[in-house]
Structure 1
Amino acid sequence: MPVASDDHGSTDQEPDQAGQRRHVVDHHGLRHHGDSEVGPGLVDLAVNVRQGMPPTWLREILVSSMSEISAYPNAERATRVVAEYHGRDPDEVLLTVGAAEAFTLLARVLATARPVVVHPQFTEPEAALRAVGLVPDRVVLPDPFVLDASLIPGDADLVMIGNPTNPTSVLHPAATIASLARPGRCLVVDEAFADCVPGEPESLASVRLPGLVVVRSLTKTWGLAGLRIGYVIGPPELVAAMREAQPLWAVSTPALAAAEACVSPRAQAEAARWAEEMAGRRQVLADGLGALGAYVVPEARGSFVCVRLPHALRLRTLLRKKGFAVRRADTFPGLGPEWLRVAVRDDETTAAFLAALKEARDDLPA
């Protein structure tokens, strides 16, 4: 696949039909994320990070890794462990400072003439492209937001999609995504929430296809958002280019220790149990929202649900006054002001949230 030989200049312009450059006004807050919704005293249903994490055994590993903090981090062993977990070679894996760094590195090294981002999805892939002067085409999926491969332009040489997708919580069939892979195209699949799905049946992390790149995160399930650890799996030549673009010693020693620990048999068994339990809690949340007249995107498979309801932004403000933070979803291309994203929590928290939502709805002026 094409790899850029030099840096792109930053711009907020794109070519018009005559080939001239014109100013692009992006009305979506691509850099707005759930953490900006959270505040003191608020119950957090805005951030898609598992609560009460990391577990004690993982904390102990992180603390122990501090004994090596005086030395520069060495990613070789952790890279090998992650590669073995997915049945890949070490030269197909790059550990990154969370999934977000992976998108930044991809944007820096790929030479793309027609990038396409499938929306609604996590906005950082598009933001990373725009940061290096690339203005991608947007393929916006209609509700219920299931991928239709025929919507992807045949000449797209970069396609980016989430699975399960944030914020819709839709899980696309692996075969449908795989059908988009072809020589000369880079197909980037964001699997940050893949471990929310028991058995990960639609993951492509262990599959080799032309130009396929899979981005994974370890921050969601294990509560490591502040540590920043993720990884990329892809063709060796692309991974090598990303490694060259990555700053030296980017991933810290504790983060490397976390990467090894989170793909261990113990961790995977715990993650599988959590995914099963979370699925039940997600259904309780979805059913409760439906009983209040909200539309919930069907077949949710992530640790969150995407909800449409009248006066959503006003309800969001009223919910904050009642102590609950939810994620506005109108900053995701393809969604409007009537959409919210709500994280799955324990049943007690969900019951309290649903009661607050009912009160907020009743408080709206007629």
Structure 2
Amino acid sequence: MSAPIDHGGGVTAAAAAFGGRPKNWLDLSTGINPCPVALPEIPTRAWHRLPDSYLVDAARRAARDYYDSGEILPLPVAGTQSVIQLLPRLLRQRSQFAMTDDKVAVTDDKVAVVSPTYGEYARAFASAGFAVDAVDDIAAIGGQHRLAVVVNPNNPDGRVWPAEALAALHDRMKSANGLLVVDEAFGDTDPALSLAARAQELPNLIIFRSFGKFFGLAGLRLGFAIAPEDILARFEDWLGPWAVSGPALSLAASLLRSDVAAIRRCLDDRSAALQAALSAAGLRIKGGTALFTLVADIRASDIYTHLCRHHILVRKFDYAPDWLRFGLTPDPAADNRLSAALQGFER
């Protein structure tokens, strides 16, 4: 088993190292809407009883309409991390490869992950004994790869691939009996990038969608998988009964049918304010999405420490020591707090 990956959101550890109470820190280390939506009423029965099929069905129908997935009813999961960890099992089953003696077996099947990106994909496959090729472009994915992962828009640099290019990649993978996984966790702010509307025409495609990032409810631990029915049935079986809580399903059914235009406008405003603060501090913006901004600076490590001393947490990267990722600030007061801290950094 490889070492755990250091993700964003570690305010408690940062406060232990730099002082202050975690609740008083400004956490900009994640790509989550900092202005969570107002919660609709959750029926008491959703809390009181195990999640019955009517709740699952309502959430799936709402997700189908929201993601425009046609005849495919997206499968609700307890955060997309829960199904990322099932991908090696799926690939092994498709390859009719068995593990023995409770040891990690090594297979000749190769997996391509367009990198750098969310690290749990490579970790999951490597821990299961698969060879993982970190490729820098979808053009580098070939017939030797049994599965390919593309995060679109990408985390942490915001790189995007047009839907047509990914559909063509799917066809290449399909011709070699391979699978394409497209992670659209940050796709809500730009629906035109999504392949969901074409998913029923692309039988070797798996799409993962995050719920909590866009709606600002990451603690709910909810996501959706869009894939052919046989793959969704395997995921559902492997996840076991009651994989998603009743309150989460109830919220999904309500919020996915709500008007999200105001959320997008809010995120655009917050993103503009963040980029203005970063530019005013002389930081070079390398990329990002409406939910985060990536900067590149040779002083990144010192800036990170300086911000921590001001009880502001951002995301640093061991594989790119000159990168820092800034999540959105929640309001103008936080904009001013970040700007003051950045202006106080000694250049």
Q: Which residue of 2 aligns with 1:70?
A: 49
Sort the Cα spacing of 1:97 and 1:71 in 2 relative to 1 into closer, same or farther, 3 A. closer
Q: Is the 8 A contact 1:163 1:171 kept in 2?
A: yes
Q: Which residue of 2 aligns with 1:7?
A: none
Question: The residue matched to 2:339 in structure 1 has which SS?
Answer: helix
Gaps (5+ residues) in structure 2? 16-21, 96-108
CA distance, structure 2, for counterparts of residue 169 and residue 126 of structure 1 = 19
RMSD over aligned Cα atoms = 2.3
Q: Is the 8 A contact 2:158 2:289 kept in 1?
A: yes
User: Could you tell me which of 98, 103, 109 is aligned with 2:84?
Assistant: 103
TM-score by length of 1: 0.79
> Identity percentage over the alignment?
30
TM-superposed deviation, 1:52? 3.6
- 1:319 partner letter: L
Sort the Cα spacing of 1:356 and 1:96 in 2 relative to 1 into closer, same or farther, 3 A. same
The equivalences for 1:41-80 within 5 A come to 41-56=24-39, 58=40, 60-61=41-42, 64-74=43-53, 75-80=56-61
CA distance, structure 2, for counterparts of residue 90 and residue 210 of structure 1 = 13
Q: Which residue of 1 aligns with 2:223?
A: 230
- Is 2:152 the counterpart of 1:152? no
The equivalences for 1:1-366 within 5 A come to 31-37=5-11, 39=15, 40=22, 41-56=24-39, 58=40, 60-61=41-42, 64-74=43-53, 75-88=56-69, 92-111=73-92, 113-139=109-135, 141=136, 148-182=137-171, 183=174, 184-197=177-190, 200-208=191-199, 209-264=202-257, 266=258, 269=259, 271-298=260-287, 300-330=288-318, 335-345=319-329, 346-360=331-345, 362=346
Gaps (5+ residues) in structure 1? 1-10, 13-28, 142-147
TM-score by length of 2: 0.83
TM-superposed deviation, 1:221? 1.8
TM-superposed deviation, 1:89? 6.1
- 1:201 partner letter: A
Higher helix share: 2
Q: Is the 8 A contact 1:92 1:235 kept in 2?
A: no
The more displaced of 230-239 and 348-357 is 348-357
TM-superposed deviation, 1:174? 1.5
- 1:296 partner letter: I
Q: Which residue of 2 aligns with 1:19?
A: none
Q: State the number of aligned residues.
A: 314
TM-superposed deviation, 1:178? 1.8
Q: Is the 8 A contact 1:171 1:301 kept in 2?
A: no
TM-superposed deviation, 1:337? 0.8
Sort the Cα spacing of 1:287 and 1:179 in 2 relative to 1 into closer, same or farther, 3 A. farther
